[in-house]
Amino acid sequence: MVWTINGWADLDAEEEISDGKWESPEPTWSISCDRSHFEYDLCYINRPFAYDPKASMLSSVDPTNSTPPLAERILPYPRKWQHNAMEYVREIKLTTKPLGSPCAVTHAAPALIFSAGGFTSNIFHDFNEGFIPLYVTVHEFFAGRDVILAIVNCSGWWLDKYADLIPRFSRHPIINLDRETAVHCFPKAIVGLMSHGPMTVDPTLQRRPDQKTVRDFHALLESTYGQRQRRSRPPPAPNSRPQLVLMSRTTHRVLLNQDEFLQAAKEVGFDAVAFEPARDTPMREIFRILHGSHAMVGVHGAGLTNELFLRRGAVFVQIVPIRNSWLGDICYGKLAVRLGLEYMAYDIGVEESSLYGQHPREMLDPNDQGGMLMSNWSHWDMYMNQNVSLDLGRFRRYLERAYEKAKLFMLKASHRHR
């Protein structure tokens, strides 16, 4: 038995993964939850239900009249392993006991209920626990975007910042459950978001035949933010210099010799600028700057999430502080390869770290990228808050190689523009 938009049905094997269906672990129950994943929990609501936003309570009466009533709780944010993130996620209660309140608003489309809390407000987490899992979940379960996004921890600044992107996941208006007081009723729902892992859209984990990758998510971003840019961008002039964007930071993991870096990049041949988006910088402006560049460089940190806006074939150089290689690879390195970027990782030397001279040499061994940290998480702040002063003599070789790749990318792009 498989859940379809029209209810439960027996399907032939070749039909079981077609559009608009999801499987529930317990199809005879009104509510069933899958808690088997490291990153997330997911609850399926298999019958019509009512949601009381004042109590954060969802009620779907069990047709089997189970006694006592079934009760479940879920924090609908895909980072369940990190408790300090989940402290900022509103809990949703699910029950088969009647609410006792009539429906004030009745919807014909199913709901996807999730949280925009947790570590949201940091662009890495906005995408890693937000929009990439949202993309995965909507594609997996809701054909034609026929789903109502019902969101808790839904702040006004988040709605404003991502006002262009959020509607791309649903053809219905969203519901900000934080601002609702009336009881809403839906035919069915999923509570929570799926995650395939850090910054990943994994086709091997998808049941749908039209499997997606992170390049498809990149195409969604490009179609959301990039139409005006494509129409307005002039072809590059002959002998023009490739554009390099340094993702600047002003708090921890700061590039202390930023001005000297920019000068060295210009001497190599780049048109180089520093860029640090503010919280209120429009996403279209961030996209315009990054999508129009040929190379991006930055010290490991949330700002490197903007690699999602680079064009395929652009150059990305991640400057990796001591003991950050494993994290840099998980968060940004693997994503760069999947996006088709020309990726380079520059692991800084001990002398390039602000920790040099402050701690015993064995604590700064760059060859032990994760061991010390994994054995004692009290060192986390120390390694994450270090600043970097590049050895520009050593780094220049990376700049020169990046310039060669960027120049080739620019040449190919100009041919496509003709």
Q: d(Cα 76, Cα 114) in Å, to the nearest integer?
A: 5
Q: Tell me: the pLDDT tens digits for 337-382?
A: 999 999 999 999 999 999 988 888 778 876 665 555 555 667 788 8
Task: Indicate whether 148 pLDDT > 90.
Answer: yes
DSSP string, 143-159: GGG--EEEEES--HHHH
Instruction: Supply the pLDDT for residue 364.
Output: 81
Give me the helices (H) in 175-321, please: 214-225, 227-232, 258-268, 283-291
- Asked if omega into 68 is within 30° of 0 (cis), the reply is yes
pLDDT at 8: 34
Least confident of 16-30, 224-238, 264-278: 16-30
Give the pLDDT confidence of 178-200 residue by residue, as tens digits: 999 999 999 999 999 999 999 99
In order of 165, 266, 295, 302, 333, the CA distances from 269 in angstroms are 35, 5, 12, 27, 25
What is the pLDDT averaged over residues 281-300?
Answer: 97
Q: Is the pLDDT of residue 161 over 90?
A: yes
User: What is residue 30's predicted lDDT score, i.e. its pLDDT?
Assistant: 84
Q: How far is CA 306 from CA 2, 75, 199, 227, in A?
A: 39, 28, 12, 18
Strands 342-347 and 315-320: parallel
In CATH, which of 1.10.530, 3.10.170, 3.30.390, 3.40.50 is domain 224-417? 3.40.50
Domain with CATH 3.40.50 in the chain: 224-417
Per-residue pLDDT, 7: 37
